[in-house]
Chain A
Amino acid sequence: MKIFRRCAMAGLVVGAVALLAACGSSSSSSGSAGTSSSPITIGTSLSLSGDFAADGQAFQKGYQLWVHDQNAKGGLMGHKIQLKVLSDASSPAQVVTNYQTLIGSDKVPLVFGPFSTLLTAPSARVAARYGYAFVEGAGGAPAVFTQGLHNVFDVSVPVKLNLVTWAQWVASLPASQRPKTAAFATVDDPFTSPQIPEARSILKSVGVKTVYSKVFPMEVADYTPVAGQVASTHADAFVLGSVDVPTVSAFIHSFIQQHYNPKLFIATAGPDQGATFVKAIGSGNENGIFVPNGWYPGFQKADSQQLVKEYIAKYGGTASGVNADVAEAYAVGQVLAQAVAATHSLDNGKIMSYLHSGVTLDSVQGPVKFNSLGENTAGKTLTFQWQNGNLVQSLPTSTAGSKAPTYPKPAFKG
């Protein structure tokens, strides 16, 4: 019995140590470009656990797919590429440590950005101190671009404008069909906060009355008071500033329980998570809900379609399960590769000068052209809507591939 106990304890200890080791960093070997045969290591910090784990892991897949494809084309300047990923657990403090480690200690020649504005803003400052170009795909809020940094380049569309397309469409509706009232609730996050005033301003300009507007903290013990207050206003339109699925899910379940069904419902993030979103809110409740984004799996572009095929081949699932994070990450690699190819160099100074030169680059998300702040001015924000169980492109209505929006929103299935 004693031997059994000791063996069991030893097994548990070994398991714990192995797991702790696995939690530390997930990644490949370190090293930098040296001889022509040596690989180039690109370092990044991603949220493999914590609040942004789903997005962080999707980003990792996007980066890995790009590395695979780029290596198939010969890598960067003839060097094979290795990706070194450190996990930041969705922590703004840890992400700073990780980039200091990657650049200061590991001396990786190039870095990719992390997930979310919350983590991009502090990590871009670290990269700037070392003179590194910071190409990223998920830090599109003003908090990133107002730091006075010269090294940050966001390949996605600036998030400040995310709700504008939708709000302009609402404003264009005939007065008799247009919503009369709107409610706004947003999580206190640099990604969501800049989006709400833009939408509210457009709606206000056409006479849509704001009947509720509140900010709530990221960690909420109970969403029901906020959702209940929104429901009690019976607003025709509801705009939710969200960063994840649980927030949207909590509001939807509360609305169903309160027998409230807004004619229009848009959330800044969450509904873009495909099958995960539907699973959380319950099948049938998703129809009519809008979400803005720069990309979707049905995006009609050859390299985008190829990315979707590769993703399914490698990770399984269906096209609807490939979320925009994958494309955002892939586009980061594409843009950096074009800069390296154009400058024939891994010199971060030359790469930054090139990216600031006004050149238009190509990515799976469409064209990329940076202004002096590092914002992508060439990209277009699209708005998607869940229709009959599928997330489809719906706005702008004039854009090729757009399906007419469903309005008013079908009732929640419950």
Chain B
Amino acid sequence: MSGTALLQAIVDGILTGGVYALMAAGLTLIFGVMDIINIAQGVMVVLGAYLSYELSAHLGIGLLPGLLITVPAMFALGVALEFFFMRRLREQDRTGMSILITFAVAILIEGALSAIYGVDYVQLHSSYVDKSVYVLGFYLPYIYLIGFGLAVALLAGLYWMLYRTKFGRAVRASLQNRTAADLIGINVNRTRTISVGIGVAVTAVGGMVFGATNAFNPNSGYDLISRLLAIVILGGMGSIGGAMGAAILMLVVSDVVAVAWSPTWAPLVFFAALVIVLSIRPQGLFGSPAIRAQ
């Protein structure tokens, strides 16, 4: 194996890791705010991809401008999900029950998509999807550069929102102690509703990039969810920066193993690394022990 091939694998891993971070961001945000494990995240990514597909294939709206429509639409969906499903869960068994309720949501969304689109695969197309730029001996695909840029911008935005704004303080206060947050005048329900809305809205962006880099159908979400869960667990449940770091680590490890050793071993090595990291740091790479203790 040449040094060039290894370097190419690292670059590929970083860029693709950005795409996975985009898809996982909503999952870790919703867990961080509500202790809810959103099993529907993979299907929501696919839903985001279909919304972009609908706009681009049938209305002629480009993938990036289309986000101005799909992001608010997914925000509305997130708000509805929180209002109708997540809010009903009791505090004591919220995390466990959330797996069941979000699985039901996944089946609902997948069923609706299957009824509308069938099972044929589609992929998002745009003039820049297959284009690439030649830099220092490597062809870097525009779509992955765009995905990585969006990931950095959105995750930085989420981080800023959570740690530098009054709303972010309300979110973190609601997570740490609901009763105390209520007593100091924070509208906990509204804070959580908006947070879930934001988490699902971010998924619209991840869905667009996923759909432009992969052929997908309504069933594609199931392949995604295990990887997304692995990323947020490795990064630390609830950690926005952790999702980015873990996604890049996961993809770089997978891609380097695929190139240096064999593609067959890439998933195994990643999950072995996941087990090793969690045995040393149960809260994940960037997670807070307090969250794990809850």
Q: Are A216 and B263 in contact (CB under 8 A)?
A: yes
The CA of A365 and the CA of B254, in the complex, are separated in Å by 42
Q: Name the A residues within 8 Å of B267 (CB-CB).
A: 217, 219-221
B-chain residues with CB within 8 Å of residue A9 when the two chains form the complex: 84
A23 to B121, CA, bound (A): 20
Query: Once the chains are docked, how many angstroms separate the CA of A277 from the CA of B228?
Result: 27
Contact A224 to B214, CB < 8 A, known contacts A214-B263, A258-B132: no
Write out the residue numbers on chain B whose beta carbons fall within 8 Å of the beta carbon of A214.
Answer: 262-263
Q: Is A167 an interface residue (CB 8 A)?
A: no
Q: A8-B84, A253-B130 are in contact. Are A216 and B223 (CB under 8 A)?
A: no
* Contact of A143 with B by CB under 8 A: no
Residues of chain A in range 238-291 having any CB-CB distance to chain B below 8 Å: 244-246, 249-250, 253-254, 256-259, 273, 276, 279-282
Whether A258 and B111, one on each chain, are in contact in the complex, defined by CB atoms closer than 8 angstroms, is no
Given A215-B264, A246-B121, A224 contacting B5 (CB threshold 8 A):
no
Residue count of chain A within 8 Å CB distance of chain B: 49
Identify whether the interface residues of B are mostly helix, strand, loop, or mixed.
helix
Of B114, B122, B129, which contacts A279 at CB under 8 A? B122
The answer to whether B255 touches A23 (Cβ under 8 A) is no
Task: Find the residue from A57, A222, A256, A414 having the highest chain B CB count within 10 A.
Answer: A222
B contact residues around A340 at 8 Å (CB): none
Other-chain contact of B219, A53, A254, A282 (Cβ < 8 Å): A53
By the criterion CB–CB under 8 Å, are A246 and B216 in contact? yes
Say yes or no: is B191 at the interface (Cβ < 8 Å to chain A).
no
Please state if A19 and B258 are interface contacts (CB–CB under 8 Å). Answer: no
Cβ–Cβ contact A23 & B107, under 8 A: yes
Residues of B within 8 A of A258 (CB): 132, 139
A312 close to chain B: CB less than 8 A: no
Is there an interface contact between B263 and A217, defined as CB atoms closer than 8 Å? Answer: yes
Cα-based distance from A253 to B144 in the complex (angstroms): 12
A20 surroundings in chain B (CB, below 8 A): 104, 107
Q: Nearest A residue to B88 by beta-carbon distance? A: A9
A219/B129 contact (C-beta < 8 A), A22-B111, A257-B139, A279-B122 known: no
Interface centre among A232, A244, A280 (most CB of B within 10 A): A280
Q: Is the CB of B104 within 8 A of A53?
A: no
A22 to B84, CA, bound (A): 23
Nearest-CB distance from B161 to chain A (Å)? 28
Q: Which residues of A contact B125 (CB under 8 A)?
A: 282
| Interface status of A34 (Cβ within 8 A of chain B) | no
Closest residue of chain A to B112 (Cβ to Cβ) is A19
Q: Which residue of A lies closest to B20 (CB)?
A: A221
A12 contacts the other chain (Cβ, under 8 Å)? yes
The B-contacting residues of A in range 275-314, CB under 8 angstroms, are: 276, 279-282
Report yes or no: B121 in contact with A221, Cβ–Cβ below 8 A.
no
Quick one: which of B123, B223, B263 contacts A249, CB cutoff 8 A? B123
Instruction: Let me know if B107 and A50 touch, CB within 8 A.
Output: no
Chain B neighbourhood of A250, CB < 8 A: 213-215
Q: Does B227 contact A (CB under 8 A)?
A: yes
Contact A222 B264 (CB under 8 A): no
The A180-232 residues at the B interface (CB cut-off 8 A) are 188, 214-217, 219-222, 224-226, 228-229, 232
Residue from the list B107, B122, B217 in contact with A19, Cβ < 8 A: B107
Q: Is B52 in contact with chain A by the CB < 8 A criterion?
A: no
Query: A69 near B: Cβ within 8 Å?
Result: no
Please name all residues of chain A whose beta carbon is closer than 8 Å to the beta carbon of B223 when the two chains form the complex: 51, 219
Question: What would 13 more interface pairs be, CB under 8 Å, given A50-B222, A225-B255, A244-B121?
Answer: A20-B107, A215-B264, A216-B258, A216-B266, A217-B267, A219-B267, A221-B250, A222-B12, A222-B254, A225-B8, A225-B9, A245-B215, A258-B132
A residues bordering B, Cβ < 8 Å? 8-9, 12, 15-16, 19-20, 22-23, 49-51, 53-54, 57, 188, 214-217, 219-222, 224-226, 228-229, 232, 244-246, 249-250, 253-254, 256-259, 273, 276, 279-282, 412, 414
Q: Kindly list the 3 A-B residue pairs having the minimum CB-CB distance in the complex, ordered from nearest.
A: A216-B263, A246-B215, A53-B119
B interface residues (Cβ-Cβ under 8 A, vs A): 4-5, 8-9, 12-13, 16, 20, 84, 104, 107-108, 110-111, 114, 118-123, 125, 129-132, 139, 141, 213-217, 219-220, 222-223, 227, 250-251, 254-255, 258-259, 262-264, 266-267
Q: What are 28 residue pairs bridging A and B, where the CB atoms are less than 8 Å apart in the complex?
A: A12-B84, A12-B108, A20-B107, A49-B119, A50-B222, A54-B217, A188-B264, A215-B262, A219-B223, A220-B267, A221-B20, A221-B266, A225-B8, A225-B254, A225-B258, A232-B8, A245-B121, A246-B214, A246-B216, A249-B215, A253-B129, A253-B213, A257-B131, A257-B132, A257-B141, A276-B120, A279-B121, A281-B123
